[in-house]
Amino acid sequence: MKKTRATITAIGKYTPKRILNNRDLEKIVDTSDEWIRSRTGMVERHIAAKGEASSDMATAAFKDMRKRFKIDPEEIDLIIVATITPDMFFPSTAALIQHNIGARNAFGFDISAACSGFLYALAIAAEFIENGRYKKVLVVGSDTMSTITDYTNRDTCILFGDAASVVLLEPAEEDYGILDYILKLDGSGKDFLYMAGGGSRNPATHETVDKKMHYIYQEGKSVFKFAVIKMAEVSVDLLKRNSLKGSDVGLFIPHQANKRIIDACVSRLKLKDEQVMINIDKYANTTAATIPLGIVDAYDQGRLKKDDLLLMSAFGGGFTWGSVLVKWSL
Ligand code: COA
């Protein structure tokens, strides 16, 4: 019997109004527009308003989805939220979103896989549809990175932005949808990219706040090296396993963490510029939201059309990394 695949049938996005550009950052830390552009490809990023949390941005992205597509929230079976900046430890961000959007028949949960979170969530959602148990799964990538960013540290504060984006997965017709995926985890990466404070290891105290343990810590160079190797490797492996080459890919949407990392991966995959979605200049690194944001922007720009082969790849804290291959149906 032919396997039921899961496919993306609706999309939506939200970015906060406030924009922080490189010139603004020049006034806060010792940096320059030139350095940021040339070392990262970033130009501006959106920053959430005070009190605006990941569930609020996701709710707004869902609203955008409803403007674009006919969706009854009560028909949603499951909500999976990829985030490392949940509104709070519990209840889950999924619970808050479920309540906000009136998806009263859905259950849901959050997953923590940093910048690979959206791909992890997408793969999990696809399994629930492929096994026939559920018909409509909302997959959310939402991160309010500004709330865990130290704006006195030039090493990290230039890199991140806030955004949310959502996709709806449903059973696919014909041979469309998620064709295959590879997801990876290597916990030895835990020392290079993390936020130490606030969890059960270092519960919040005055001391953890004084030591700035509630902010992102990153060894940029180590993460960079790992990302360059692993994002390309997993993309090549996924294509190979499906007897495909770079030239078969309609659009490649990589995680947007550094333009130089994307360029290295693109060169390894032997892709042309027109095959690659880059919007790092507009949003910087929005963690779990970069890839779904790329999907929405590419779709709006007419760069993602029915029958296109879409390759998505990410890497992030953990370390986590992975790739997902889709035959696009929208
Ligand atoms: N503005 C100006 N100078 C800066 C700076 C900034 N914002 N940040 C660092 N520098 C300086 C450093 O102090 C260093 O100065 P020195 O040579 O006098 O010591 C110099 O620039 C080079 O720093 P380095 O850290 O080697 O730069 P880099 O080329 O590795 O770029 C990152 C730094 C963070 C942009 C890069 O390592 C990176 O993108 N890493 C991966 C990050 C990532 O993807 N994280 C998310 C994972 S999902």
115 is an active site residue: yes
Q: What confidence category does residue 3 fall into, taking pLDDT thresholds of 50, 70 and 90?
A: confident
Q: Which one is predicted more confidently, 1 or 229? A: 229
Residues 6+ apart with CB under 8 A from 167: 8, 10, 11, 122, 138, 139, 292, 295
- Two tokens, residue 301: 């720009």
State if residue 280 touches ligand 1 by the CB under 6 angstroms criterion.
Answer: no
Share of the chain above pLDDT 90, in %: 98
Residues 6+ apart with CB under 8 A from 184: 230, 234, 319, 320, 321, 322
Element (H, E) at 254: strand 251-254
| Residue nearest to ligand 1 atom 29, measured at CA | 39
Q: Whole-structure pTM over 0.95, yes or no? A: yes
Q: What pLDDT is recorded for position 166?
A: 99
| Residue nearest to ligand 1 atom 46, measured at CA | 257
CA–CA gap between residue 296 and residue 34 (Å, rounded): 28
Choose the CATH number for 179-327 among 3.90.1300.10, 3.40.50.460, 3.30.1370.60, 3.40.47.10: 3.40.47.10
Nearest to 81 by CA among 160, 145, 181, 164: 164
Q: What pLDDT is recorded for position 128?
A: 97
255 is an active site residue: yes
Q: Which residue of 31, 32, 39, 291 sits with most ligand 1 atoms within 8 Å of its CB, as the best mutation to test the pocket?
A: 39
CA–centroid distance for 34 within its chain: 26
Longest dimension (CA), the chain: 62
State if residue 288 touches ligand 1 by the CB under 6 angstroms criterion.
Answer: no
Q: Which residue of 116, 156, 221 sits with most ligand 1 atoms within 8 Å of its CB, as the best mutation to test the pocket?
A: 221
Residues 6+ apart with CB under 8 A from 263: none
285 is an active site residue: yes
- 133 close to 109: Cβ distance less than 8 angstroms: no
- 110 close to 85: Cβ distance less than 8 angstroms: no
Q: Architecture of 6-175 per CATH?
A: 3-Layer(aba) Sandwich (3.40)
Question: From the candidates 22, 258, 279, 285, which is the catalytic residue?
Answer: 285
Say yes or no to pLDDT of 152 above 90: yes
Q: What confidence category does residue 2 fall into, taking pLDDT thresholds of 50, 70 and 90?
A: low
> What residue has token string 């791909």?
119
* Centroid of ligand 1 to alpha carbon of 221 (angstroms): 7
Say yes or no to pLDDT of 157 above 70: yes
| Residue nearest to ligand 1 atom 1, measured at CA | 31
Residues 6+ apart with CB under 8 A from 140: 58, 61, 62, 79, 80, 81, 82, 83, 93, 94, 97, 121, 164, 165, 166
Parts of the chain belonging to CATH 3.40.47.10:
6-175, 179-327
CA–centroid distance for 166 within its chain: 10
| Residue nearest to ligand 1 atom 10, measured at CA | 155
- 120 close to 62: Cβ distance less than 8 angstroms: no
Which ranges in the chain belong to alpha helices (H)? 22-28, 33-40, 54-68, 93-101, 117-130, 154-157, 206-210, 220-241, 259-269, 280-283, 290-300
- What are the residues facing 7 on neighbouring strands? 170
Q: Which residue of 24, 36, 190, 224 sits with most ligand 1 atoms within 8 Å of its CB, as the best mutation to test the pocket?
A: 224
What DSSP letter does each residue of 16-34 carry, written as one string?
-SEEEEHHHHHHHSS--HH
pLDDT digits over 253-283, tens only?
999 999 999 999 999 999 999 999 999 999 9
Q: What pLDDT is recorded for position 141?
A: 99
* Centroid of ligand 1 to alpha carbon of 312 (angstroms): 25
What DSSP letter does each residue of 221-246 carry, written as one string?
HHHHHHHHHHHHHHHHHHHHHTT--G
- The helix/strand/coil state of 166 is strand
pLDDT digits over 173-203, tens only?
889 999 999 999 999 999 999 999 999 999 9
Q: What pLDDT is recorded for position 172?
A: 96
